[in-house]
Structure 1
């Protein structure tokens, strides 16, 4: 991607107030200082101050309150943001303060399952639906959603985490299906699912003690690696499931 195109780009980071989402915002501001960055939050507006190395950036982040699981809220977001080049959906849910991922089928809870599906799948469906027209005129349309390796059916070697695994598998199918529609409507576009690795955030806090230190990434490191991959994407890669290093993950 040429610097000329990047200089005029408009990017939305959905879920930009979360651990990985906030790191994405920070990295984009640093690496693409002339791009116009928009980001969403759900509850309270983040006290966002970019790193000292970003002080020369021409970029000021536009923050939007949005419930990504609500159609009206996402439609309003699309109208507010306007034309767009990239969407990165960094929102996600693995557990709540009162409910951990299931270790057994006997732990399935209807409310927890539906909430997990809404956050991890419905948010991407609504973003894709209501921002479709906003990509018109973009020279480099990109739609990226954070998935997870545990959403791979082929890679499922240990089981467990029924709701989370099912939601990420469903997300992958949504993105694969959307990539076919984009091939017809936006042949120069690219849609991918991307696995961020195991990242030290609130989402993984209860489980990180079981992760080898060399495999537990900071949000900054993960966002840096994924941004490198996204900047190199081409339309030929649409519909792929990628890891943070650009390698392919089986569906």
Structure 2
């Protein structure tokens, strides 16, 4: 039976590559992005959907549509996130004085709240026999692994995401049965999100989106499903919460 996979944030560099990786596996893929963009490398088993604004109303309507069609999902990968956005005045803080209310609100809105809303509604359309939800997180969201400080909004919003996912995994297990949720640190990937921060990254640690998608697909498929929630990195290693 063909797996059905939903990729959220499919127009980004990582999102596009993840769509292709799951489609190449033979999955029927729904690729959601603001523009509904497609990619010439995607096979015809990919359906692109536009969601101009990722808010609760639109997320609820989209999932209701899936439910009305009788669609159940085996895999979901949520790739949405923000690290720096000059238009919004969002950039990693170097000191306490750099924090401001507007930037913190943007960090939490994109990195924490949007994925949480997806988790809220997706529980109603996940396959009860075998389902996996992956959220792209970050190692800097680890509370225990923080020896450098700074990046207040990004760190805190990713830590919040990790807690939301871990908490949701308990309810998913109860309601969906064979469900597993994953927070995934992809490393530094050569995309627009990381461009301003690549100069200090060793060449061998700057990954292509294709490598990132392959690592995610490979390592997530090998995880112990008796453990309902995982936090791992691009090499399959455990990241401490």
After TM superposition, the score normalised by the length of structure 1 is 0.88
Question: What secondary structure does 2:94 align onto?
Answer: coil
Question: What whole-Å deviation, never above 9, does each CA across 1:52-91 have from its counterpart, x for those lacking one?
Answer: xxxxx5x421112225641011011212333211111011
Aligned match of 1:166:
156
Aligned partners of 1:147 and 1:195 also within 8 Å:
yes
Question: What secondary structure does 1:142 align onto?
Answer: strand
Question: What whole-Å deviation, never above 9, does each CA across 1:140-169 have from its counterpart, x for those lacking one?
Answer: 111110000000111111111111000000
Matches of 1:181 and 1:150 in 2, distance apart? 26
Residue 129 of structure 1 is aligned with which of 106, 120, 123? 120
1:149 aligns with 2:149: no
Structure 2: runs of 5 or more not aligned: none
Question: What secondary structure does 1:16 align onto?
Answer: coil
Aligned partners of 1:84 and 1:138 also within 8 Å:
no
Aligned match of 1:29:
23
Matches of 1:155 and 1:245 in 2, distance apart? 17
1:101 aligns with 2:101: no
Question: What secondary structure does 1:236 align onto?
Answer: coil
Going from structure 1 to structure 2, the CA distance change for 1:240 and 1:134 (only over 3 Å counts) comes to: same
Question: What secondary structure does 2:77 align onto?
Answer: strand
1:62 aligns with 2:47: yes
Structure 1: runs of 5 or more not aligned: 1-6, 52-56
Question: What secondary structure does 2:231 align onto?
Answer: strand
Matches of 1:68 and 1:171 in 2, distance apart? 20
Shift of 1:172: 0.3
Aligned partners of 2:80 and 2:115 also within 8 Å:
no
- Equivalent residues, number: 235
Matches of 1:27 and 1:241 in 2, distance apart? 21
Matches of 2:128 and 2:13 in 1, distance apart? 28
Matches of 2:6 and 2:202 in 1, distance apart? 33
Aligned match of 1:76:
61
After TM superposition, the score normalised by the length of structure 2 is 0.92
Matches of 1:68 and 1:230 in 2, distance apart? 29
Question: What secondary structure does 1:209 align onto?
Answer: coil
Moved over 6 A (4+): none
1:9 aligns with 2:3: yes
Question: What secondary structure does 1:12 align onto?
Answer: strand
